[in-house]
Structure 1
Amino acid sequence: MQADAPRDIPAPTTSPEPRTPAGRSGRTRTGPSLLARGAAHDPYRFYRMLREQYPLSYDAPLGAWLISRYDDVTAALTDPRFTGFPHDGAPRGGPAPLGLCHGSARCLPTDRYTVVTGTVPAGHAERVERTAYVLARRIARRPRADLVEEFCRWLPAGLGRDMNGAPQGKTAAPTGDALCVRDTALRETALASFLANLLDDPDLLAALRIEPALAGRAWTETLRRDPPVQVVLRRTVAEVTLSGGTLPARAPVACLIGAAARDPQRFAAPDVFDPFRPDQDRALTGPPGCPAVALGRLEAEQGVRALLDAMPRLRWAEGFRPAATGLLTRGPRSLLVRPG
């Protein structure tokens, strides 16, 4: 079934490019805009319409072509015919900023984006664990708390130093690793989505108390279903044919990560949060060499362990339901809970 168009999205018109693939005739339609009001309110409904009806369309207000299917987005992130945009200095075929990665040159290129296997130094791991337990114990004394304000915001910042060991606030220029690690906003957003998904599933929380290793799968599933970065910009350096048509060289392209992550052609029941899904290795989580990606996973694993140890009966506050907001980056802005 095709989704209805969100309100306030203009009817499609025609555009002279990109050309349709060889052997076909006609012109690719200009589709609905990512900047329309209805799109920001419920982007996943909007994404579904794009995948089904406009897999390659020009967004005039944005000034870029939209791609929404998993195979097309994966191609744009890894194919050497795409490069970084608006900063075209990225190596051709190198990693685009994705997930928790900001596109540091130190994030090694890979032929595909896959589940993170990287690690962080032991000293940083100990500091994350200590910070998580301090924050959790403070929250446990309260009848009601907001995990975004009192936990998610402070756990990434609690590292205190960048991955190279330089104190924050110094004037020395950050190295490649620090370019990704020092910006904690995306890790805060991803951690909030992770905790929201766990609190929505009391059975999963109970299982985590018995088997903490499940947190890693829940984290990867969160980055798939609720990616903190919803849109990645690229540019073609040569003509590229995708499922919906052919892009010319030098075309700006908006890769809709949130749409690709819920493509039913790649993931079974894509809207369902399922840490046990067998196709988890296809999630677009970011380049494995990025230190911010590895650190975000560590913060999620240590964070939920500290919260459950300090608050075994942690649950939503009465009447509260989390609501994600944002279009380019997206996540819940508050998580009201009862610690006791």
Structure 2
Amino acid sequence: MNNAVPRGTARSPAPAGGGPVGAATSEAGPRSDHVPLLLIHASEQDPYHHYRLLRDAYPLVHDHSIGAWLLSRHADVAAALTDPRFTHGHRPGDPPCEAHRGSLPQAVRDVVERTAYVLARRIARRQQADLVEEFCRWLPTGTVGVRGRGARGLVVAGVCVAQLSLRERALASFLANVLDHPDQLATLREHPELIGRAWAESLRRDPPVLVVLRRASAEVVVSGGTIPAGADVACLIGAAGRDPERFRDPDRFDVLRQDPGQLTFGPGDCPAVQLAALEAQYGLRALLDAMPGLRRADGLRPAATGLLTRAPGTLLVRPCG
């Protein structure tokens, strides 16, 4: 990649009054009206153009609109999410999950599968349905009742599991991606064992959380300069997931991608990570079983929106094809 900013240069915003932007080296930075601040310049309809600018020209820049340094390249974001020098943040699967890690009991898997099929059959005979409102918002709540029973093997604990909105958004984006690519949906219908790969690909391309916050406990050298000790850092998951230095043709949704990877959910056996994957697997299987001709409804397709979290607000489909 041809970087407009030499490695080793970190940029911070100009002081009030529009003076020159400060830089971590002697090189003068651009003026303040050109600094690509996350919450000011990014578009909810298409933040990815903004992310490209950040990755190419501003690999490390301070954003006064959120009071944090922005990281946008995949290598830097991946490091910040795993390096112990970055603290005060959390994703499902991160080290704070240690207290409640473990394989999901079969009873919980059964609840997820049963809930998915019940929801799919409720909408199967309709002329039109909204999968966000009638499927994605209900499937993750199926485990809430399981948590309250207290029976041995049925309790799913941990703060991650309570983050229902994260799983709702991830599921909505996943279903939107597969429905937007009928050829790949046909592949998944013929080869359901690939659903897990499709799920990971959707998390890479359209993560439900675009920004994860961290704090640097020490100075850390990254692309573009050095993050000061004690500084807040915004890890731009959405930018990292479409970094062409890491992924070939990164804007493309490809269930057969040969260079997979996603940063929304951390590694490990956190119940929330497993639940999200199960909801995608059982959810798509149930929908295709109940509605073999499932397709997007004709007409306008509402796009995903959001700068910090992102997902489609509606997903209109024709259950009968």
- Say yes or no: does 1:241 pair with 2:242: no
Q: CA deviation at 1:119?
A: 4.4
The one of 53, 56, 64 equivalent to 1:52 is 56
Q: CA deviation at 1:38?
A: 4.0
What does residue 203 of structure 1 align with? 183
Q: CA deviation at 1:82?
A: 1.4
Q: CA deviation at 1:283?
A: 2.3
Q: Distance in 2 between matches of 1:232 and 1:183?
A: 14
The SS at the match of 2:235 is strand
- Say yes or no: does 1:69 pair with 2:69: no
CA separation of 1:195 and 1:230: change in aligned 2, threshold 3 A: same
Deviations 1:193-245 (A, max 9, x none): 00001101112222222211111100000111111110011111111111111
Letter in 1 for 2:308: L
What does residue 6 of structure 2 align with? none
Q: CA deviation at 1:16?
A: 4.1
What does residue 109 of structure 2 align with? 125
Q: CA deviation at 1:158?
A: 1.5
Letter in 2 for 1:265: E
Q: CA deviation at 1:106?
A: 2.3
Q: Distance in 2 between matches of 1:336 and 1:97?
A: 33
- Say yes or no: does 1:283 pair with 2:287: no
Letter in 2 for 1:97: H
The TM-score with structure 2 as length reference comes to: 0.86
Root mean square deviation of aligned Cα: 2.7
- Say yes or no: does 1:298 pair with 2:278: yes
Q: Gapped runs of 5+ residues in structure 1?
A: 3-9, 85-95, 109-117, 168-174
Q: Distance in 1 between matches of 2:193 and 2:63?
A: 42
Q: CA deviation at 1:163?
A: 5.2
Letter in 2 for 1:134: V
The one of 109, 115, 135 equivalent to 1:151 is 135
Q: Distance in 2 between matches of 1:320 and 1:306?
A: 26
Deviations 1:2-49 (A, max 9, x none): 9xxxxxxx99964446x34xxxx4356663111115433321111001
What does residue 35 of structure 1 align with? 39
The SS at the match of 1:178 is coil
Letter in 1 for 2:262: A
Q: Is the CA contact 2:104–2:271 (under 8 Å) kept in the aligned structure 1? A: yes
What does residue 114 of structure 1 align with? none
The TM-score with structure 1 as length reference comes to: 0.81
Q: Is the CA contact 1:140–1:311 (under 8 Å) kept in the aligned structure 2? A: yes
Q: How does 1:243-282 map to 2 (within 5 A)?
A: 243-280=223-260, 282=261
Instruction: Number of aligned residue pairs: give it.
Output: 300
What does residue 166 of structure 2 align with? 186
What does residue 5 of structure 1 align with? none
The SS at the match of 2:245 is coil
The SS at the match of 1:246 is strand
CA separation of 1:56 and 1:27: change in aligned 2, threshold 3 A: farther
Q: Distance in 1 between matches of 2:19 and 2:277?
A: 43
The SS at the match of 1:254 is strand
Q: Distance in 2 between matches of 1:199 and 1:243?
A: 37
Q: Is the CA contact 1:104–1:179 (under 8 Å) kept in the aligned structure 2? A: no
CA separation of 1:207 and 1:235: change in aligned 2, threshold 3 A: same
Deviations 1:238-257 (A, max 9, x none): 11111111111111111101
What does residue 321 of structure 1 align with? 301
The SS at the match of 2:158 is helix
Relative to its length, the structure with more strand (as a share) is: 1
